Amino acid sequence: MAAAEEKKRVFVKTYGCQMNVYDSERMTDALAADGYVPTQKVEEADLVLLNTCHIREKAAEKVYSELGRIRVMKEEAARAGRQVMVGVTGCVAQAEGAEIARRAPVVDLVVGPQSYQHLPRLLKDVAAGRRAIETEFAIAEKFDALPAATKAQTRARGVTAFLTIQEGCDKFCTFCVVPYTRGAEVSRPAGAIIEEARRLADAGVRELTLLGQNVNAWHGDGTDGRSWGLGELLYRLAEVPGLDRLRYTTSHPRDMDEALIAAHGDLPALMPYLHLPVQSGADRILAAMNRKHGADDYLRLTDRIRAARPDIALSSDFIVGFPGESDAEFEATMRLIETVGYAAAYSFKYSPRPGTPAALRDDMVEEAVMSERLQRLQALVAAQQTAFNRLAVGRVVDVLFEKPGRMAGQIMGRTPYLQAVAVEAGTERIGTIGRVAIDGLGTNSLFGTLAGAQPRPEALTAGNATAAETAP
Ligand code: SAM
Ligand code: SF4
C-alpha cells in the first residue's frame, strides 16, 4: 500500500464558542502524534469528531441531526469494508454522557472537555470494539498532558491564534449550563501561558486572543512570585517579541479589576475592543439571573473603561425573554443599549437548559413575544454597528492582514476594533500590519486601500455613535 493511503484521517466539526475552536486544535495536535492527519472532507475520514455546544437547545439538537447524516455515511463505509469511528466531544458529551450513545448508536466515543488528553487511549478501546465514554472532571491539567502544536501546524493556522488560559465558571448564572458542563473555575499557570504564547509568536502568530468562559477571573502565581490577575498577565504578554496584538474573551463585569482597566490605558498591544456581556438592562432580571450587579454598576464600569481607553469599542451578549421579563424590563435593556452604544452584540432568545434553576420557573415568556423583542433589539444593535463602522470611512486605520480574500488580488484583515477589511494587495503582506485608508462600507466588512506611509491612524470613538445617530 502507498504511504499516502496508510494515513488515518480525522474530520473535526466544531460547534459553539472559541474555546471549542481552541480545543479542536489541541485534539488535532494530540491525534497527529498518533498518525492522524486532518481532513476537511467528512466522507474520507476514518475518525469523525463532533466538538459540541450545549449552551442553547438548538445547539444541542444540531448535533443529533448531524449524527443522523454521519450514520448513513458510516454504514456506506462499512459496506465498502472501511471502519469509521465517530466521537462526540465538548459540552453535549459532558452533559449527556452515555445518553448520547443510547440515542445515537452510531457514536463510538463520548469524551468531555476535561478528558481530551485521553483521546489516543480511548481510540484504541474503540478500535478493539469497545465503546468509550469518559466525562470525568480530571483534576490534572489537561493542557499539560496535551502535546503542543508543531511550528508547521501553528503556521498552517494563520497569524492569529487562540490560547485558553482559564476554564470553567463559578458564577452560576441561573440560565447557564457552563458551570455544569465545564466545571469549576480553573486558571492555567502563568508560566505555561507565557511559554505557549512565546511558542506561538515564534511560529509567526501576530495576534493572540486569550480565552476563558470567565477569562477575567484568571488568577495565578506570577513568574515574579506575586499573585497576578489578568491585568498583570497582559503586561507580561505584551513583552513577548512578535505579539503585536492582544485580546481576551469572555469577561464578566464583576471581574474587571483596576489592573485590568489600567492595562487598557497602558498597553498599545491590548486592542481597543472588549466583549463585556450584560445580558439585560433591568435590575430585577439581572438579580434573577444571579449576575450579581445592577444596570448602573455596568454603566459605571463602561465609563471607567472608556476613561482609561476612550476609543474602546464594546460588545455584549443579551438574552431576551428571560422568565418573567416584562415589557418595561425589556425596554430597560433597550435603554441600556442606547446609553452604551455598542460596536457589536450577540443576542439570543432565552432557552431553558435542563438542570439550571431558571428552567424550573413557571413564568416563561411567550415565543411570539420573545421573537418580537429579539427583532427590535437586533435592529437597534445593527444600527449602532453600522454607525460605528461608518466612523472608519474616510480615515486611516491599522490592519493586520490575515488571509486571502474571496476575490482574486484581495486580502482580508482586521482593524484594532475587530472590523473585517478587504484590501487589494498581494498575499505577501499576510502577517504584516499596514495602514489602510477606509473608503467603503459593505454588509460584513469595510473596504480600503493601502495607505503607505500615512500619518498615525486615527482612533474611532464608539461614543460618537450616539443613540440619535443610530436610531433605525
Ligand atoms: N461567560 C460569559 C458571560 O458571563 O456572559 C458567556 C458565556 S455563554 C457561553 C455565551 C452567551 O450565551 C451568554 O452570554 C448568554 O448570552 C448566552 N446564553 C447562555 N445560556 C443561555 C440560555 N439558557 N438561553 C439563551 N442564551 C444563553
Ligand atoms: Fe455562564 Fe458566563 Fe454566567 Fe458563567 S458567567 S454561568 S459562563 S453566563
Supply the pLDDT for residue 136.
83
Tell me the mean pLDDT in the region 79-94.
95
The residue contributing the CA closest to ligand 2 atom 3 is: 173
Which uninterrupted H or E stretch holds 434? strand 433-441
The pLDDT assigned to 272 comes to: 98
Task: Indicate if the pLDDT at residue 139 is higher than 90.
Answer: no
| Percent of the chain scoring above 90 in pLDDT | 83
Confidence of residue 7 (pLDDT cuts 50, 70, 90): confident
Q: Which amino acid is at 363?
A: D
C-alpha 364 – ligand 1 centre gap (Å): 17
* Rounded (5°) CA angle 451-452-454: 70
Q: Which of 182, 214, 290 to mutate to test the pocket of ligand 2 (most atoms within 8 A of CB)?
A: 214
Please give the Cα distance from 100 to 52 (Å, whole number): 12
pLDDT digits (tens, 9 = 90+) for 181-237: 999 999 999 999 999 999 999 999 999 999 999 999 999 998 888 999 999 999 999
pLDDT at 472: 27
Residues in contact with ligand 2 (CB, 6 Å cut-off): 169, 171-173, 176, 178-179, 213-214, 252
Q: What is the mean pLDDT of the chain?
A: 92
Q: Which of 317, 320, 353, 360 to mutate to test the pocket of ligand 1 (most atoms within 8 A of CB)?
A: 317
pLDDT at 436: 96
Q: Which ligand has its closest atom nearest to the C-alpha of 178? A: 2
Nearest ligand 1 atom to alpha carbon 169: 1
For residue 266, report the distance from its CA to the centre of ligand 1, in Å. 30
Q: Which string of b and e fits 178-202 if b means at least 16 CB within 10 Å?
A: bbbbbbebbbbbbeebbebbebbbe
pLDDT surpassing 90 at residue 324: yes
Give the closest ligand to the alpha carbon of residue 277: 1
Ligand nearest to the CA of 170: 2
**pLDDT at site 146:** 85
What pLDDT score does 60 carry?
82
pLDDT digits (tens, 9 = 90+) for 330-345: 999 999 999 999 999 9
Name the 3-class secondary structure at 241. coil
* DSSP H or E stretch at residue 442: none
Say whether 344 sits in a helix, a strand or coil: strand
For residue 268, pLDDT beyond 90: yes
- Which of 55, 176, 180, 353 best tests ligand 2's pocket when mutated (most atoms within 8 Å of CB)? 176
Looking at the CA of 289, which ligand is closest?
2
Share of the chain above pLDDT 70, in %: 94
Q: What is the pLDDT of residue 464?
A: 37
What confidence score (pLDDT) does residue 4 get?
Answer: 47
pLDDT level of residue 453 (50, 70, 90 thresholds): low
Ligand 1 centroid distance, CA of 176 (Å) = 6
Instruction: Give me the helix-helix angle, 367-392 and 327-340, nearest 10°.
Output: 10
Question: Which residues, judged by CB distance below 6 Å to any ligand atom, belong to the binding site of ligand 1?
Answer: 17, 55-56, 175-176, 178, 213-214, 250, 252, 277, 279, 317, 319, 348, 350-351, 353
Separation of CA 55 and ligand 1 centre (Å): 7
User: How many angstroms separate the Cα of 255 from the Cα of each of 211, 227, 415?
Assistant: 15, 16, 26
Q: What's the rounded mean pLDDT across residues 27-40?
A: 92
Region 324-332 average pLDDT: 98
- pLDDT at position 452 is 77
DSSP state of 19: H
**Atom number, ligand 1, closest to the C-alpha of residue 352:** 23
**Which atom of ligand 2 is nearest to 170's Cα?**
4
At 94 the pLDDT is: 93
pLDDT at residue 380 in the model: 98
Q: Any idea what the Cα angle at residue 403 is, between residues 400 and 405, rounded to 5°?
A: 110
Residue having the nearest C-alpha atom to atom 25 of ligand 1: 350
Position in ligand 2 atom list of the atom nearest CA 179 = 6
Q: Which tens digits make up the pLDDT trace of 141-188?
A: 678 788 888 898 899 899 999 999 999 999 999 999 999 999 999 999
The dihedral region occupied by 166, where left means phi > 0, alpha psi between -120 and 50, and beta the remainder, is beta
Nearest bound ligand to the CA of residue 358: 1
Of the residues 52, 55, 346, which should be mutated to test ligand 1's pocket, given the most ligand atoms within 8 Å of the CB?
55
Confidence bin at 140 (pLDDT 50/70/90): low
Ligand 2 site-directed mutation target among 94, 169, 285, most atoms within 8 Å of CB: 169
Greater confidence, 7 or 376?
376
- Say if residue 467's pLDDT is above 50: no
What pTM does this model have? 0.93
Q: Give Cβ neighbours of residue 185 (< 8 Å, ≥ 6 apart).
A: 166, 167, 168, 169, 170, 214, 217
Instruction: For residue 443, give the amino acid letter.
Output: T
**Angstrom distance (rounded) from CA 103 to CA 255:** 40
| Cα→Cα distances 221→152, 192, 256, 258, 267, Å | 31, 11, 19, 18, 21
For the record, the C-alpha cell of 279 comes out as 445580558
pLDDT tier for residue 466 given thresholds of 50, 70 and 90: very low
pLDDT at 145 (0 to 100): 80
pLDDT single digits (tens) 371-411: 999 999 999 999 999 999 999 999 999 999 999 999 999 99
Q: Per the structure block, which three cell numbers stand in for 89? A: 466531544
- The residue-averaged pLDDT of 76-95 equals 95
